[in-house]
Each structure stands twice: as C-alpha cells, then as structure tokens.
Amino acid sequence: MEKEQIRLLSQFETAFIPLLEKEFGENLVSVTLYGSAVKGHFTSGESDLNALIVLKNADPQAVSALGRSASRIMKKNRINPLLLTEEEFLGSADVFPMEYLDIRESRRVMHGVDLTERLDITQGNLRHQAEEQLRGSVASLRRA
C-alpha cells in the first residue's frame, strides 16, 4: 500500500467517518469504500476515495450540514461520496448492475452493515446495461 493511500484511508477513518456520524447520527446505515483504494489499483495524486454512504431516510438539511462541515476534508483527501437511502440503493440494482457488482466484488465496509449482500443483481439486468452501453458507443462512433 502506498504512503498516500495509507494517509487518505487514515483520514477517512479518523476524520471523515466521525463527521458522518455527527451529521447523520442514527440515520447512517453504512459507509463502504470501493474502487481503486480497495482493489489495489490506487495511484497517488490521481485516485479518489469512492465512498458509498447509505442513509435510512433522505435528510437534505443533514446533507447540507455535511457539505459545510466536510467540504475541506473531502477536497483535500479526494473523497468522492455517493449518498443514497437504503431503499434507493437496494432498489436500483436493476439500473446499475455493473456498478453495484463492482462494489460488491471489492469493498471495505468502514461503518455499519454490508448492504451489498442484499442486492438483487440479475444476469438479465447485466446484459441489458452492457447492451445499452455498447449500442450507445456504436452510435457515437457512427456520428463521429
């Protein structure tokens, strides 16, 4: 693990998660890191810390408060948060199956429960998303 990666992960755990706990309290279901920082493909100065933050309920005031209290630490440590409610996360596996499969295959739960095991990712949804992206790329190439 690179020094920069260790520093970022430490800051995430010791500074960012306490801010999440403070702003969301009991509404915070889980915080999961995914992407290059977990997969071992981290590149200093380029890689972000991708964080899936799952809440019980949407709370715009708490999200705004988090933005005010955590913007500096998020920018400095390249934290890229994805905030969803538990219902939104579990109910959108049919729309984002490739992304969610990627999260499920390489993740590090930093707080709370691991919701990825409850995702219903089907082969049909994977095929549909892959075909949609492929057709979009072909259409773009034809226009070019």
How far is it between the farthest Cα atoms of the chain?
51
Sole residue written with tokens 């200093």: 44
Model confidence pLDDT, tens digit, residues 51-79: 999 999 999 999 999 999 999 999 998 99
pLDDT over 90, % of the chain: 62
Give the pLDDT score at 44. Answer: 81
Taking residue 116's Cβ as centre, other Cβ atoms within 10 Å add up to: 21
Q: What pLDDT score was predicted for residue 23?
A: 95
Contact 111, 28 (CB under 8 A): yes
User: What does the alpha-carbon distance between residue 142 and residue 73 come to, in Å, rounded to a whole number?
Assistant: 43
